Structure 1
Amino acid sequence: MTSSTVAQYTALYRDNLLNDVLPFWQRFSPDREHGGFFTCLDRTGEVYDTDKFIWLQARQVWTFSMLYNRVGSLFPDQKADWLGMAQLGADFLQKHGRAEDGSWYFSTTRDGKPLVQPYNIFSDCFATMAFGQLSLATGRDEYAHLAESTFRQILARRDNPKGAWNKAVSGTRPLKNFALPMILCNLALEIEPLLDKPLVEQTIDECIHEVMTVFFDPDLGLIRENVTPDGRMSDSFEGRLLNPGHAIEAMWFSMDLAVRRGDRALVDKAVQITLDTLTYAWDTDFGGILYFMDASGHPPQQLEWDQKLWWVHVETLISLLKGYQLTGNQACWEWFERVHAYTWSHFPDPINGEWFGYLNRRGEVLLPLKGGKWKGCYHVPRGLYQCWQVLENLQNL
């Protein structure tokens, strides 16, 4: 690694964020008639479906609020538009996003009529993040209250996130999923200024234990996506499931928590899990990271198991850079350059801007969309921002 190499990477991640990805969403996603954002955008930015998915609305509010808060002062010509974008989404969410009990719907029509019940607690998670960041940007107490109250509802639902919409028969094969404790690791830090310190510390303690002890299988050296309520392995499709992207994303959340607490052992464990997961999940035939795997080597249940997804690669880049920054482990840098080369040669669209989301195993574009039901203005800009910041820090060492 040379200083000139780091400087080139820094400029690439920063410029792609500011001059490519954000302008794409600023140009094509705002719904000026009904509020909120269009997320179903084709390769050129044309809207191909007008349904609004609450978690993607909230993610986009968070993205523009976060950038306004953290780097807005560096870009005075852009910060007002960033805040305006966040406000556009927040107004729609406040007006149309919640059910009577305060939980957040999964989706609505373009004009805000509810389509899908609030079965998915991740709508609540990203609403918490969105209004937490927006409260910091605007100083408005109503946003802070909305973030805090939603966060407390999440904690109340954490043992049965889907509630009445859980399709599994109760008691037959109870399992708990990795995704919620993973997100709570990040969520607690996101809205820490709005919470009592004991609640923050308790949530962090519980999340670190869940992620690093309950879901981590020391025999595999990997994170399982589902375990029994007492943390054991279930010999079933769900119990054998590995989700490398989730595991690696959780590791940079854990590194952030470790830095906050001065816990070097947690840093080292998170870095090792990142490297072990990446070694396990890297496609040695075609390159890139496999989407799903079976821990016992059986055929995965998910038919899309061998696809290469944008968010998996973006989150891996963040974890590798943070791991290198915190430990100097050369394997992190070597893997970063390898994953970077694959990612930047396959996902960004040099013609129309933004990034493709879905590749087949050979690395060919499978779906030419830039946004849809699952991909929005979140993982790519967050990843570009995070990598830019870490690389800039490395450059200044």
Structure 2
Amino acid sequence: MPHASRSASLPELTTLFGEVQQHFLDVIVPLWQGPGWNADMALPYEALDAAHQPLPPQRYRAMACARQLYLFSSLIGVLDNAEVRAAALFRSLQRHFHDAEFGGWFYSIDPQGKPLDQRKDLYTHAFILFACAHYWDKSREPLVESTLNAALEVIGRRFATGDGLYEACLDRDWITLETGPLQNPLMHLAEAFLATLAVREDAQVKQALSELCTAMHKHFVDPQAGVLMEKPLGAVDNWYEPGHQFEWYFLLESSPLLRGSKLHAALDRAFAFTEQYGVVQSSGAVRAMLDLNMDGRPKDSTQRIWAQAEYLRALTLRPDSEAAVLRQLQALQQRFLHAGGWHECRDEQGEVSRKDMPSTTPYHLATCYRGLTDYLR
């Protein structure tokens, strides 16, 4: 993708990104190779505290396992032992979470490894598909592709509602729970479809992705503001999240298939609106939740590292964005990264409001840094 002409800030940006990437490889990833890894279960702990001790396990989620599978797949060829860890995570996904009786994957297991929440949710299945696509790209193992195919099959057969959308959650035996579709799982499904198409030609996936984006535009985009709501239009207590607007924008803008779609056009038009209300101009902090009925006043002003990373990644695909990319990378480094890892959340006043470091966050940093790498190329 062509970028606008580069300015004098490029050397500064390149140097800063080198520091941030090194921090990721030297500080963040080792947390999940060492203290964050439960060797007995061959699973990541859900979170570490500020002293790098695992929080007492309440559960292990398939989605967290899948995000770590993506993380270590992305590091194969970069980091020693990444291949070994990815293989262990893939085996654990199947051993701990696969439902041999009804198919699909459980949401979570308890600390002893017994099924805990046995429902089937789209968010989990989307991440399994996403992780398997990346891992298969690196490993080319037939078992990984067959798991990818199984995930695609179960998503299409069980979750699809027939109008391009998908149920957010079903019971263990696939009986409906009447959840209906929700924005966030559908976004990660789009991401997983794109990851699949990046590693193989697949006409069915291409069609499903196009139909999903058409349906998202019809059922989730507010006609006035052009933003994607978290629940279908007309739902009570609806809201939108700037982080998700930026995440969707990146997925759509980076895909030749989706660029130029109605959904892409809506989010492209709404980008400045989302920045105006969703980003604190003085600090570059991204607000968590906004309500269209409150004149842009935030519903929740928590500042989360994942939203910060998604805004930064989205900016790499905006025209003439170099100064903004540099500013936001500085904001990410100064506000969220530290010598012992990262701050997960800050409150409205900018105070650190969560001391723990979840195993799911490195996925957001890895995808953000991948976007920055492509941008600097």
TM-score bucket (shorter structure): 0.7 to 0.9
Q: Which amino acid counterpart does residue 9 of structure 1 have in structure 2?
A: L
Gaps of 5+ in 2: 1-6, 162-166
Report the Cα distance in structure 2 between the residues aligned to 1:378 and 1:192, rounded to whole angstroms: 20
Counterpart secondary structure, 1:112:
coil
Report the Cα distance in structure 2 between the residues aligned to 1:357 and 1:216, rounded to whole angstroms: 29
Higher relative CO (CA 8 A, sep ≥ 6), structure 1 or 2?
1
1:216 pairs, out of 211, 221, 226, with 221
Report the Cα distance in structure 2 between the residues aligned to 1:85 and 1:355, rounded to whole angstroms: 22
Tell me which residue corresponds to 2:362.
Answer: 377
Deviations 1:282-339 (A, max 9, x none): 235775111011111089997xx1211111110110010122xxxxx23x33443443
Q: Does 1:349 align with 2:338?
A: yes
Preserved contact between residue 39 and residue 52 of structure 1 (Cα < 8 Å):
yes
Residue 185 of structure 1 deviates from its aligned partner by 2.1
Report the Cα distance in structure 1 between the residues aligned to 2:367 and 2:198, rounded to whole angstroms: 20
Q: Which amino acid counterpart does residue 355 of structure 1 have in structure 2?
A: W
Report the Cα distance in structure 1 between the residues aligned to 2:175 and 2:152, rounded to whole angstroms: 24
Residue 91 of structure 1 deviates from its aligned partner by 1.6
Preserved contact between residue 247 and residue 310 of structure 2 (Cα < 8 Å):
yes
Tell me which residue corresponds to 1:44.
Answer: 51
- Give the alignment's TM-score, normalised by structure 2: 0.85
1:289 pairs, out of 286, 299, 316, with 286
Q: Which amino acid counterpart does residue 219 of structure 1 have in structure 2?
A: Q
1:197 pairs, out of 181, 202, 211, with 202
Q: Which amino acid counterpart does residue 61 of structure 1 have in structure 2?
A: L
Counterpart secondary structure, 1:306:
strand
Q: Which amino acid counterpart does residue 281 of structure 1 have in structure 2?
A: G
Counterpart secondary structure, 2:358:
coil
Tell me which residue corresponds to 1:94.
Answer: 94
Tell me which residue corresponds to 1:230.
Answer: none
Report the Cα distance in structure 1 between the residues aligned to 2:285 and 2:176, rounded to whole angstroms: 33
Report the Cα distance in structure 2 between the residues aligned to 1:263 and 1:299, rounded to whole angstroms: 27
Larger helix fraction of residues: 1
Report the Cα distance in structure 1 between the residues aligned to 2:298 and 2:312, rounded to whole angstroms: 27
1:102-113 mapped onto 2 (5 Å cutoff): 102-113=103-114
Residue 257 of structure 1 deviates from its aligned partner by 1.5
Percent of pairs with identical residues: 17
Q: Does 1:184 align with 2:189?
A: yes
In structure 2, the CA distance between the partners of 1:226 and 1:261, relative to structure 1 (3 Å rule), is closer
Report the Cα distance in structure 1 between the residues aligned to 2:290 and 2:297, rounded to whole angstroms: 6
Report the Cα distance in structure 1 between the residues aligned to 2:275 and 2:149, rounded to whole angstroms: 35
Preserved contact between residue 223 and residue 247 of structure 1 (Cα < 8 Å):
yes
Give the aligned length: 361
1:71-90 mapped onto 2 (5 Å cutoff): 72=77, 75=78, 78=79, 80-90=80-90
Counterpart secondary structure, 1:219:
coil
Residue 213 of structure 1 deviates from its aligned partner by 4.7
Report the Cα distance in structure 2 between the residues aligned to 1:65 and 1:30, rounded to whole angstroms: 16
Report the Cα distance in structure 2 between the residues aligned to 1:60 and 1:130, rounded to whole angstroms: 8
Preserved contact between residue 217 and residue 223 of structure 1 (Cα < 8 Å):
yes
Deviations 1:139-193 (A, max 9, x none): 21111111111122112303323124899985xxx86322233222211121226
Preserved contact between residue 250 and residue 317 of structure 2 (Cα < 8 Å):
yes
In structure 2, the CA distance between the partners of 1:272 and 1:340, relative to structure 1 (3 Å rule), is farther
Preserved contact between residue 168 and residue 182 of structure 2 (Cα < 8 Å):
no
Deviations 1:185-218 (A, max 9, x none): 2111212267663212202211332344542224
Q: Does 1:363 align with 2:370?
A: no
Q: Which amino acid counterpart does residue 96 of structure 2 have in structure 1?
A: H
